[in-house]
Amino acid sequence: MSDPLAPLMDLGGVADAAKSAQDAVFAVHRLPANLRGGSATAAEASVRAARASAALDGANPDLPEDGSVTHPLLAGALRVAGATESLLPTWRRAPLQVLARLHVLAAADVVEDSEALGRPRGADGVASRLELLGQLVTGSTSVPGPVVTAVVHGEMLTLRPFGSADGVLARAAARLAMIATGLDPKALTVPEVACFRRQRRYEEAAQAFASGEPDGVRQWLLFCCDAFEAGAREAKSIADAATP
């Protein structure tokens, strides 16, 4: 059976960008603080990722000193971040189940109708495209982690399957894919911060991906690979701060 993602590696610059991104992330895993486990880096990375993800959708990313988070999107993003590790085994075999659970966590304070939580929109094509995305996650591919992760991220942004908290959900799915593909198995990096700092480019690249045109898909993949490298630099700063 042919690999549906394989043609993406022929798009100009994608193969080199993916390798550069993977090398940058692997270098972070070899830092002394992370060779000892990296739990401190991963914990801080998870919080920074959640804050940046919520901010991309308009939330104030600042955490109150008393710890009482009131913005619904930020609260949801932090709940999602806290559940990521426990959901990883299920993501590998039943990603749609995980997406439903993540939506419950992300949108609990956003959606008034609790029965809508975890239920994809009934719009034409949503169910079938989610099914294809699930097959992509659970199937085998020769394409490297940066590209697979970018495709999961882009598909979720394009589909907006639940109609609420979809941006937070898309970035959470990308983070799971980043771990599951081996791109960043310890979840040390924070590409979400790069997306937030370059929000206009992020949104433009996502729209280009949604067009389905080769140039648009290429633009998105290159943007994501660049964000992975920037996320690795963010991770290095976290690890450096944690090193005595």
Please state, in angstroms and as integers, the Cα–Cα distance from residue 125 to each residue in 11, 128, 150, 156, 239, following that order: 27, 5, 21, 13, 43
Strands (E), 62-169: none
Residues 55-112 pLDDT 10s = 999 999 988 777 778 889 999 999 999 999 999 999 999 999 999 999 999 999 998 8
Go through the domains of the chain in sequence order and give each one's CATH number: 6-242 (1.10.3290.10)
Low-confidence winner among 118-132, 147-161, 185-199, 215-229 (lowest mean pLDDT): 118-132
Query: Look-up: residue for tokens 């009482």?
Result: 68
- For residue 128, what pLDDT is reported? 93
State whether residue 139 is helix, strand or coil: coil
- What Rg do the C-alpha atoms of the chain give, in angstroms? 17
CB atoms < 10 A from the CB of 187, how many? 23
Q: What is the rounded CA–CA span in Å between residue 83 and residue 182?
A: 19
Answer whether residue 1 shows pLDDT above 70.
no
**How many C-beta neighbours within 10 Å does residue 203 have?**
14
Per-residue DSSP letters for 176-228?
HHHHHTTSSTT----HHHHHHHTHHHHHHHHHHHHH--HHHHHHHHHHHHHHH
Measure the N-to-C terminal CA separation of the chain; round to a whole number of Å: 51
More confident residue, 20 or 3: 20
244 confidence band (pLDDT: 50, 70, 90) = low
pLDDT tops 90 at residue 218: yes
Lowest mean pLDDT among 62-71, 143-152, 227-236: 62-71
Tens-place pLDDT, residues 159-189: 999 999 999 999 999 999 999 999 999 999 9
- Model confidence at 243, pLDDT cuts 50, 70, 90, reads low
Sign of the dihedral defined by the CA atoms of residues 166, 167, 171, 174, in that order? positive
